[in-house]
Amino acid sequence: MNASEERKSTKKVNQTKLEKKGRISFLKKLKKINRKRLLSQTVATSLILLVGIGAMAQMGLLPYIDKKTSKKYGWFRTELPQNVTNIWNPFANPPPNPTLQLPKEYIYAGDRLLAIEENGGSNQNNRTNHALATNGGTATSSSQFNSNFPPSAANNGDRKGTGYATPDGTWTDGTSGVFPDWLQVEFNGSKTIDEINVITIQNGYTNPIEPTETTTFTSYGITDYQVQYWDGSGWVTIESVTGNDKVWRKFTFTPITTTKIRVYITGAAYGLSNVVELEAWGS
């Protein structure tokens, strides 16, 4: 390469560099313009949205609760039914159907049955176990084996007797081989009831199953007893049981109004009276 050719080549390289630089600065300019345009577009859209939402709010077209009447409104002033609480969805239009109800609702605290609510249209029949401690029932007994077998184990809502030999497990009397024994539950005032459930201890009490009315025992359950209610001056027997081998006995009867019930026990498979749960169902 001679000197002239060399100069030409250098010139060409420099020219390419300049061209590249120009292109890059042009791209930079273009990016800047796009960024500016995007920014202004975003600002404009946001403003339009804000103004739009503001206008809708002014006209009462957004979901809101009228503080004066406590009425709920969805989009576009759609009035939502009064009784809608947790299923209220402001984005639903039309609103969700609030009359959706289960025919029966079982109300639990953990695995303990507190109440059964029956929703039968106009014939509503809500059931409550008034014996339950959490419903105001207080259990007492003629005696108790020790502090791990208290009467309160028999109105805690657990029919299995989970936690044997702990205060939650089962009530056991303290006069082995001597009868009668009794377990009483006093309600929180006067209650109308039409069903009493007596649940005694099952054979496998250390690993108990959920009993049914067909579950039988052979070892430690109560065999002879009377189910009674207080009529204001004395105990009246509702049902008398002899030779029982069922873990769970359900007694239904014409509704009675009373302040307390009891199980009056005169015989048991092992000489000790064990009651896992005593329930009193009514309205």
- Please identify, using beta-carbon distances, which residue of 128 and 274 lies nearer to Ca ion: 274
Query: Considering the complex, what minimum distance in angstroms separates the CB of residue 199 from Ca ion?
Result: 7
- x/- mask, Ca ion, residues 88-107, rule CB under 5 A, reads --------------------
Least Cα distance to 277 among 118, 133, 106 occurs for 133
Q: Which two tokens stand for residue 138?
A: 């207080």
Q: List binders of Ca ion among 98-157 (CB under 5 A).
A: 156
Query: Considering the complex, what minimum distance in angstroms separates the CB of residue 154 from Ca ion?
Result: 5
- x/- mask, Ca ion, residues 210-249, rule CB under 5 A, reads ----------------------------------------
Query: Considering the complex, what minimum distance in angstroms separates the CB of residue 65 from Ca ion?
Result: 43
Q: Concatenated DSSP letters for 250-268?
A: EEEEEEEEEEEEEEEEEEE
Among 150, 158, 246, 256, binds Ca ion (CB under 5 A): 158
Q: Which amino acid is at 273?
A: S
DSSP 268: E
- Please identify, using beta-carbon distances, which residue of 19 and 111 lies nearer to Ca ion: 111
Which long-range contacts (C-beta less than 8 Å, at least 24 apart) are formed by 8-16?
Answer: none
186 binds Ca ion (CB under 5 A): no
Q: Concatenated DSSP letters for the chain?
A: --HHHHHHHHHHHHHHHHHHHHHHHHHHHHHHHHHHHHHHHHHHHHHHHHHHHHHHHHTT-S-EE-TTT--EE-GGG-EEPTT--TT--TT-SSPP-TT---SEEEEEETTEEEEEEE--TTS-EEEEETTSGGGT-EEEES--SSTTS-GGGGGSS-SS--STTSTTS-EE-SSTT---EEEEEEEEEEEEEEEEEEEE--TTTTS-----TT-B-SSS-EEEEEEEEE-SSSEEEEEEE-S--BSEEEEEEEEEEEEEEEEEEEEESSSS-EEEEEEEEE-
Query: Considering the complex, what minimum distance in angstroms separates the CB of residue 216 from Ca ion?
Result: 19
- x/- mask, Ca ion, residues 264-283, rule CB under 5 A, reads ------------xx------
Query: Considering the complex, what minimum distance in angstroms separates the CB of residue 168 from Ca ion?
Result: 7
Query: Considering the complex, what minimum distance in angstroms separates the CB of residue 112 from Ca ion?
Result: 9
Query: Considering the complex, what minimum distance in angstroms separates the CB of residue 64 from Ca ion?
Result: 48
- Please identify, using beta-carbon distances, which residue of 142 and 155 lies nearer to Ca ion: 155
Query: Considering the complex, what minimum distance in angstroms separates the CB of residue 279 from Ca ion?
Result: 10
- Binding span for Ca ion by CB under 5 A among 94-102, 158-166, 202-210, 257-265: 158-166
Site residues (CB under 5 A) for Ca ion?
156, 158, 276-277
